[in-house]
Amino acid sequence: MTPRIERRSERSAFFHTPNQFHAVSLSGGKDSTAMLLMMIERGMPIDLVLSADTGMEFPEMYAHLAKVDDYLFRERGLHITTLRHPKGFEYLMFDVPQQKKSAIERRIANGQALTGYGWPGVHVRWCTGQLKTHLISKEVNRLKGEVGALHYVGIAADEAARCKGEQYPLVEWGVTEAEALQYCYDHGFDWNGLYEIYHRCSCWCCPLQRIGELRKLRCHHPELWARLLDMDRRALAQFGPGPLGQFKQNWSVERLDARFAAEDAQISLTSPPQGGV
Ligand code: SF4
């Protein structure tokens, strides 16, 4: 179904003074991609497209971002500006020296390594902060201060509660998450099927994803699953069985691997034989 996209009205919030600087955040997901494509289609000004790379995106996501970059360059003569932490996810997880006195004391008391944040958890999402939001907001705040930039963020209309004082075209246009995805598909951006497999397409190594998503990761991206097993073994060896070395509450990646393998074996036992008489 083609999404219902309302034309920009004369009273749109997106009429701004000429020469204003327009910075668009692009995660590469369906909502920010649809926002960018719609802004291009509607002839809205765009001066900068910012993306933060955690280094742990799916290969299909990197291919998608390259495709969006080509399109952006063809349409507007712009390339995506990609921001990266200088050392990346695994350095922060395993090797960054602890700075806080209290953290160092706690690590010593627990007999843990003095480097690395360990696996992120619900209450300690160091990765989102250090690899995404901090990088983007630092740059956006600089642009706001220097050139009064407006910052466009791809939040869909059904997630409007997340809006916090930036520009939200999808909310203004009433574009839902489902419509955003369909719009991308209709314009030839399909992430090579990634959204048909997974509900979420951010870091493949995220311990906050559901077990069902991890089951799919093992099945559809076995090379990434093998990396995840390695990372988890290393985390367990370095931090022990507490929250830092624990991938998920009650589940190491190795235990999940055994569970998924047992489920697969059960399915093949109960499936009727193919072919036959
Ligand atoms: S998707 Fe997960 S691992 Fe990636 S930055 Fe967000 S919380 Fe961290």
Architecture of the domain delimited by 22-206: 3-Layer(aba) Sandwich (3.40)
Q: Which atom of ligand 1 is nearest to the CA of 205?
A: 3
- The residues spanned by each domain of the chain are 22-206, 209-270
Nearest to 31 by CA among 39, 23, 42: 39
Rounded distance from Cα 206 to ligand 1 centre (Å) = 5
Q: Is 115 helix (H, G, I), strand (E, B) or coil?
A: strand
In this structure, the residue with its CA closest to atom 3 of ligand 1 is 206
DSSP state, residue 162: G
Whether the CB-CB separation of 39 and 175 falls below 8 Å is answered with no
Q: Which atom of ligand 1 is nearest to the CA of 209?
A: 2
What the block records as the tokens of 266 is 């059960």
Going by their DSSP bridges, the two strands 22-25 and 150-152 should be labelled as parallel
**For position 266, what pLDDT does the model report?**
85
**For position 181, what pLDDT does the model report?**
97
What the block records as the tokens of 127 is 């990765």
**For position 5, what pLDDT does the model report?**
38
Q: Which residue from 85, 117, 202 has its CB within 8 A of the most atoms of ligand 1, so it is best to mutate?
A: 202
Note the maximum CA span of the chain.
Answer: 76
pLDDT in tens, 172-205: 999 999 999 999 999 999 999 999 999 989 999 9
Cα dihedral sign, 108-112-117-121: negative
Q: Which residue from 84, 117, 125, 199 has its CB within 8 A of the most atoms of ligand 1, so it is best to mutate?
A: 125
In whole angstroms, how large is the CA radius of gyration of the chain?
Answer: 22
Residue identified by tokens 């926002």 is 35
Q: Compute the distance between CA of residue 45 and CA of residue 63 in angstroms, rounded to an integer.
A: 25
Q: Compute the distance between CA of residue 171 and CA of residue 164 in angstroms, rounded to an integer.
A: 12
What the block records as the tokens of 73 is 């360059």
Q: Which residue from 90, 199, 203 has its CB within 8 A of the most atoms of ligand 1, so it is best to mutate?
A: 203
Which runs of E-coded beta strand occur in 93-227?
150-152
* Positions of the chain with pLDDT lower than 70, given as ranges: 1-18, 273-277
Pocket of ligand 1 (CB under 6 A): 54, 120, 125, 127-128, 131-132, 202-203, 206, 208
